[in-house]
Structure 1
Amino acid sequence: MYLDSIIKKKTFLHKSRKPKRQYLHTFTLYQELTSNFNNKYIGNLMSHFLFDLIKSLTKSEKIYFKRYAKFHAGEGEKNYLKIYDAIEGLKTYDKEVLPKLFKGTSIEKYQNSEVKYLNDKILLSLSNYNLNKSKRNKLQKGILMLEALSAKGLKKEALKKLRVLKANAYKQEEFTAILRLIELEEIILFKQGILGYKDKLEELGQQRTAINTIILNQNKYHMLRQEVREFQFSEHLFKAEMKILKDFKNQPLIKNIDHCLSKKSTEHWYYINVLINYLQSDFKSGLSISYAYVNFITKNIHLFDHTQILPAISNYIYHSALTRNKEHFENGINLLLELSHKKEYPEFYIKYILYTRNLEFAYYTNDVVLMQAYLELAIDLVENNTAQYEEAQIQYIYFNIVKSAIILKDHSLGMYHCNLWHQRGVMGYRKVQARIFSLILHFEVNYIRLMESEIITLKKLAKNNEREKDLIRCFYTFFNTMIMHPKRREISINKLQNELKIISQKKNTSFSFVYFHYYEWSLQLK
C-alpha cells in the first residue's frame, strides 16, 4: 500500500499527455522503487533475523542443513544456497554485501523469494534435525504420525498409537500434547458415531477440564517465578522493611507446596522459595529448600532439561557457602563432579559453577589457600573462555576475581582485572560494587589522584541505586576526606567503621553486605 501510494503520487506529478509514455514512465518508476525496496528488504531481513539465525547454527546443524539442502536440490547449485554461503561467510553483519555481491544475477531479480525460501529451508532442516532430540519432540513426531493414520482411516492402529502416546505424555507432564491427543481421540470416535462411545466422550471431556486446570496452575507458578526473579533487581523491594516481598511470600500458592498440581509446578515452587529466602537473607532456610530442590529434580530428571539441575546445584552450593556449611558444600561439589563425567552436561558451565562457588566458599570461610587455587582457574575462564558464557556470568567471574584479589592483597592483579571489567562495561546491578572495589584497591596502594575522578563517578551512581545510596554516601565521604584531608585518617576510619556497622544492620540496606563484608574490611584499616 505504501509503495502504491508513492507510485500514484509520482505519476500524478509527472503525468504525460500520451498514455503510452505515462504507462512506461509509471512502469520504470515501479521498477526503480521495487528494486530499492528489495535491496532494503534483503538487508533488513538479514539484519533482523536471517543473519542471526545462520550464525546461531551449531556445526552439526550446519552440516545437516547442507545435506538436507543437497538432497532436495537436485542438480546444480540453488540460489538460496549461494545466499546462505554468502551470509555464513560474513564475520559481522553488513546489509550492503548481498545486494552488491548478487548485482546483475538472477538472485537480484528474485531476492525476496530466494531469501524467504532460504529462511523456510533452514527452519525445516532444524525441525527435522531436532525431531528426535528431546522427549517433547518425539511426542510431537508421534502426534504427526497419529494424524496421518487417522487421515487414512486406520482407526484401530491410530487408537493403539494414541494410547501409547497419551501414557508417555502423562508421564512427561506434557499437558498441551495431552490436550491435542484428547482432541484427536474425539475426532476418531466421532467418525465412528457416538453410539456406544458417549460415556468415553464424556470421560474425555472431564480429562480436558482436569488438564486445563493443571495448565492454569502451572502458568500461575511460572508467572510468580518471573515476578520473584525481577524482585532481585527492584529498588522498591528494599523499602518499607521489604513489605512487597512479605506480601508476595504470603500468597497461598507460595506458602503451601500442596497447591502445586503437577511436578513442573512444584519445580517452580522450589525455585521461588529458594530465591525468596535468599532475598530475605534467610540463608539457612534457603539452604534447606535448595537441598530439597536438588533432590526433587534428581528424582524427576525425566521431566526436565538436563541443564536445569545445574542452576539448582549452583544455588545449593552457594547457600552452603553463605552459611559456611562444609558438609552441604562438599555434597554439592560432589554432585557437580558426578555430572561432569556425563557428556549431556556442558563442561564450561560446570567449570563456571565449580570455580566461582569455591571462591565464594573460600571467601566466607576465610580459606586463602582454596581462594588462591580457584582464583587462578577463574582468571583462565575470563582470559580464554568468555565466548561460551552469558554476560551476567562473565560479570560474576570478574566480581569474584576482584573480590578475591582484595582479600589476598594482590593489588596489581585486582586493579588489572577491575580495569578489564570496566573496559568491558559493568552491568547496572554491579556498578556500585565494581566502583567501590576499584576505590578500595587504589586507596590501599595510595593512588590518590586516580581516586579523585572515581569518587565523582561513585557519587553519581546514587541517583539510580536507591538501596545502595547509604553505602555510596558513606564511602564517598570517607574517600573524599582522605583525598582532601589525609591527616584526618584515624578520625575518618573510625567514622567509616561506625557508619558501615549501622548500614550493615539495617534490613533495607544490608543486602549489599552479602556480597562483600565492607564493615569487616574497614576493621583492618589503620
Structure 2
Amino acid sequence: MPNRSTDELFQLIKSLEKSEKRNFKLFIKRASGDDDLKIVQLFDALDKMDEYDEDSLLKKNKAIKKQQLSNMKAHLSKQILASLRTLNDDKNVEMQLNEQMAYARILHSKGLYLQSLKMLDKIKQLAYSHNQNTSLLLALELEKKIELLHITRSIKDKAESLSEEVEIVNNHISLQNKLSNLTLQLYGWYIRLGHVRDEKDVTAIELFFKTNLPNVKDLELSFYEKLYLYQAYSWYNFILQDLRMFYRYTQKWLDVFIAHPEMQKVEPVLFIKAFHNLLSAHFDTNNFEKFNEVLEQFETFSKSKIAESSANIGIQVFMYLYTAKINKHFLEGTFTEGITLVPYIEEKLEEYKLHVDTHRVLVFYYKIACLYFGSGDNEKAIDYLNKIINRKSDLRTDLQCYARLLHLIAHYELGNDDLLEYLLKSVYRFMANMKNLSIVEEAIFSFLKKSFKLSPAKVLVEFRKLKNQLEKLENNPLETRSFLYLDIKAWLESKIRNVPVQVVRRERFLERK
C-alpha cells in the first residue's frame, strides 16, 4: 500500500506529463535568473527520484544547501503552478473566467469603465452558457460597482435589472450550496459506515436527509442544482439499499449530462462518476443487458478527447472502467478469465499510487480477492484480503468486515482447522464491535461453529439448511448489504453440488440470457 505522507512538491512533479515538464522549462528560460537556474536543478533532481528522500537529494546535489531547501521548494512549486496556468488556461472554463475577471478589474482600475463593462458582458455570457454562477455573481458585483460609482450612460432601469439578476443568481448559489453540502455529507456517511445496518441507522439517515433536503418543488432548477439533487438522492437510496431508487437517480444523474453535453467537458469527473454509479446500480440489480449497454457507452467515452485531456481524468476513467470490467466477470461467472485483468490493474495502481485514494485501492483489492475466491484460488484470495485487513484505516468499516468474513471462509475452504477457531472468534468480535452483524452473518457464524464437529454427510445437510434460511432473508432490505458484498448463496450451492463458485454463477448468467 503506498505511503501517502510523501513530499507535496515531489507529488506535484510526479503528476506532470511530458508536455507539462517541457512547458515548465520553457517558462523558466524566459526569466532565467540565478534563482531560477537553481530551481531547475532541484526540479531535475526530484524528477529523477522514485521515492522522496531528502538526505539523498542533498548528498547528490551539493549546490542545494539544506538551509535553502525550504525556500527553493516553495519558489519551485509557485513557478510550476504558474507554468501550468499558461498551459491550461484555454482548457478550463473557470480559469478562463478568472483571467477575464482579472482583466475587467484592471480596466476598471485604469478608469476604462466602458471597456470593463464590455469585458464583463463577455464573462457573463460565458458563465451563463457553462452554469458558472459564482463567476457570474462576481461579474455582476463589479458591474454593480461601476454603475453605482460612475456615469456610464447605460440602458434605462439598469439598476433594477442588475439588482434582480443578482438576487436570482444568489438564490441559485444558495440552493446549489445546500444541495452540494448534503451530497458531500451523505458520501462521507457512506465512506465511514457503508450501508444501513439496522432500524436505528435507517431512522438516523432518513431524519438527516429530510432535515437537510431543501424544498425544490415548483423551482426551475439549474444544471448544478439538478446534478447535486440527483447525487444526494443516489447516495441516500444507496445507503438505504433501495436499489430500485438508486438506479432511478443514477440514471437521472447521467441524463442531466446528456441533456447538457457542454458540461461534460466542464465537469468530466462527475460525468465519469455518473457512469460508474449507473453501472453499479445495474450490477447490484443483476441487470446484465443494461449493464453491458452502459459499459459500451463508457468505453466509447474512455477513448474521447475529454477522457484523454488530463492525467487526473485518465486515472478516474481507469479506476471506474476496470471496476466495471471486474463486475462484468462477476455477472457472467467468468472469474478465471477476470483474473487476467489483475496484472494490468496492479501495474496501474503502482503507477498512480500518489493519486489513487486508499478507499479505491481497498475496493480493488476486495474485488480481486473475490475473483480469486470465485475461481477456486483461495490462497491468492487470502493474499489480497490480508492487504485490506492489515491496512489501518477508518474508511469503509463494512469493507473491513466483509474482507474478514471472506478471509475466514477462504481458510475454511483450505481446511486450515488450526486457524479457524481463532479466526471465528476474532472476526465475530470485530464485526460485533463494528455493529456489523446482521441475521445473515449470525447464521453463517453459527453454521461455521457447528461444522467442526460434523461428519461430511451431516455438513452437507447443514449447508442446505443454511441456504434455505438465507433465501428467506433475500428480500429483507436490511440484509441486502450481505448479499451485495458476498454471494454467500453461490458459495453454499457450490458446496452442496461440489462445483466451483464460478460454475454456479455462470449457470445463473446463462439462465437469465
TM-score by length of 1: 0.78
Tell me, yes or no, if structure 1 residue 84 matches structure 2 residue 43.
yes
Which amino acid counterpart does residue 310 of structure 1 have in structure 2? I
CA distance in 2, matches of 1:477, 1:418: 22
| TM superposition shift of 1:273 | 1.5
CA distance in 2, matches of 1:390, 1:252: 28
8 Å contact from structure 2 (residues 373, 381) kept in 1 = no
8 Å contact from structure 1 (residues 291, 316) kept in 2 = yes
Q: Which residue matches 2:501? A: none
1:356 to 320, 323, 337: 323
TM-aligned CA distance change 1:278 to 1:254, over 3 Å: farther
1:316 to 278, 289, 300: 278
Tell me, yes or no, if structure 1 residue 420 matches structure 2 residue 420.
no
SS at match of 1:238: coil
8 Å contact from structure 2 (residues 282, 288) kept in 1 = yes
| TM superposition shift of 1:317 | 2.1
Q: Any residues of structure 2 matched to 1:424-463 within 5 Å, and which?
A: 425=390, 428-463=397-432
Q: Which residue matches 1:26? A: none
Q: Any residues of structure 2 matched to 1:43-54 within 5 Å, and which?
A: 49-54=8-13
Q: Which residue matches 1:281? A: 241
CA distance in 2, matches of 1:314, 1:142: 35
Cα deviation 1:388-432 (Å, max 9, x = unaligned): 35443333333333334444xx322x4314313413645643222
Residue identity (%): 21
Q: Which residue matches 2:491? A: 521
Which amino acid counterpart does residue 491 of structure 2 have in structure 1? W
SS at match of 1:150: helix
Cα deviation 1:422-473 (Å, max 9, x = unaligned): 1364564322222222332332343333434432431232244213355554
Q: Which residue matches 1:138? A: 96
Cα deviation 1:320-371 (Å, max 9, x = unaligned): 233333442233123113213313215665455445335435545xx335x5
1:298 to 258, 264, 271: 258
Which amino acid counterpart does residue 255 of structure 2 have in structure 1? N
Q: Which residue matches 1:376? A: 339
| TM superposition shift of 1:134 | 0.9
8 Å contact from structure 1 (residues 235, 466) kept in 2 = no
TM-aligned CA distance change 1:334 to 1:112, over 3 Å: closer
Q: Which residue matches 2:311? A: none
Which amino acid counterpart does residue 293 of structure 2 have in structure 1? N
Q: Which residue matches 2:206? A: 246
Which amino acid counterpart does residue 206 of structure 1 have in structure 2? E
8 Å contact from structure 1 (residues 131, 137) kept in 2 = yes
CA distance in 2, matches of 1:341, 1:102: 42
TM-aligned CA distance change 1:453 to 1:311, over 3 Å: same
CA distance in 1, matches of 2:39, 2:330: 56
| TM superposition shift of 1:191 | 4.8
Q: Which residue matches 1:334? A: 296
CA distance in 2, matches of 1:349, 1:195: 50
SS at match of 2:437: helix
2:80 to 103, 119, 122: 122
Q: Any residues of structure 2 matched to 1:400-419 within 5 Å, and which?
A: 400-407=367-374, 410-412=375-377, 414-419=378-383
Tell me, yes or no, if structure 1 residue 167 matches structure 2 residue 137.
no
Q: Which residue matches 1:210? A: 168
Which amino acid counterpart does residue 250 of structure 2 have in structure 1? S
8 Å contact from structure 2 (residues 193, 398) kept in 1 = no
Higher RCO, 1 vs 2 (CA within 8 Å, ≥6 residues apart): 2
SS at match of 2:177: helix
2:305 to 326, 336, 343: 343
TM-aligned CA distance change 1:333 to 1:97, over 3 Å: closer
TM-aligned CA distance change 1:260 to 1:51, over 3 Å: farther
SS at match of 2:495: coil
| TM superposition shift of 1:215 | 1.0
CA distance in 2, matches of 1:106, 1:356: 44
- Report the more deviating stretch, 482-491 or 318-327: 482-491
TM-aligned CA distance change 1:107 to 1:78, over 3 Å: farther
TM-aligned CA distance change 1:109 to 1:159, over 3 Å: same
| TM superposition shift of 1:72 | 0.9
Q: Which residue matches 2:482? A: 512
CA distance in 1, matches of 2:115, 2:19: 35
8 Å contact from structure 2 (residues 365, 387) kept in 1 = no
| TM superposition shift of 1:181 | 1.1
TM-score by length of 2: 0.80
TM-aligned CA distance change 1:249 to 1:49, over 3 Å: closer
Q: Which residue matches 1:264? A: 224
Tell me, yes or no, if structure 1 residue 225 matches structure 2 residue 225.
no
Which amino acid counterpart does residue 80 of structure 1 have in structure 2? I
Which residues of structure 2 form unaligned runs of 5+?
309-313, 497-513
Aligned length: 473
Which residues of structure 1 form unaligned runs of 5+?
1-45
| TM superposition shift of 1:217 | 0.7
Which amino acid counterpart does residue 10 of structure 2 have in structure 1? F
Q: Which residue matches 1:148? A: 106
SS at match of 2:401: helix
8 Å contact from structure 2 (residues 179, 225) kept in 1 = yes
CA distance in 2, matches of 1:255, 1:210: 16
CA distance in 1, matches of 2:291, 2:157: 56
8 Å contact from structure 1 (residues 415, 438) kept in 2 = no
- Report the more deviating stretch, 307-316 or 423-432: 423-432
| TM superposition shift of 1:513 | 1.6
- Report the more deviating stretch, 351-360 or 271-280: 351-360
